[in-house]
Amino acid sequence: MAEKTIIVRPLITEKSELLTNNANQYTFVVNKRANKIEIRKAVEQMYNVTVEAVNTVIMPGKLKSRFTRSGVSKGRKPSFKKAYITLSPGEEIDFYGDI
């Protein structure tokens, strides 16, 4: 699997910011077919850091509905795989370096 398709995007939420500050963990949305070894190699190559641990979880899809002029429109959000990356002490990833 190519490195570009393994990591979809970093997940930046309040919970992920707390994990980053307290436990040196970063959260990414990854390809559903990627395993922990591929995720570890992709993060180490992309950000030049040392990864201690990789934990993954598949988030289930959710039903969503919205109210429109023509009635209620129902749909479904797709499921996705989330990876929690624990870095070695003293290392960090700067997502906002380009801003």
Q: Percentage of residues in the chain with pLDDT exceeding 70?
A: 94
> Domain residues of the chain, as ranges?
3-87
Over range 5-10, report the average pLDDT: 93
CB atoms within 10 A of CB 26: 23
The predicted pLDDT at position 94 comes to 87
| Tokens at 96, concatenated | 């906002």
Domain at 3-87: CATH architecture: 2-Layer Sandwich (3.30)
The predicted pLDDT at position 99 comes to 64
Give tens-digit pLDDT for 11-30.
999 999 999 999 999 999 99
The predicted pLDDT at position 97 comes to 72
Give tens-digit pLDDT for 39-72.
999 999 999 999 999 999 999 999 999 999 999 9
CB atoms within 10 A of CB 86: 15
pTM value is: 0.85
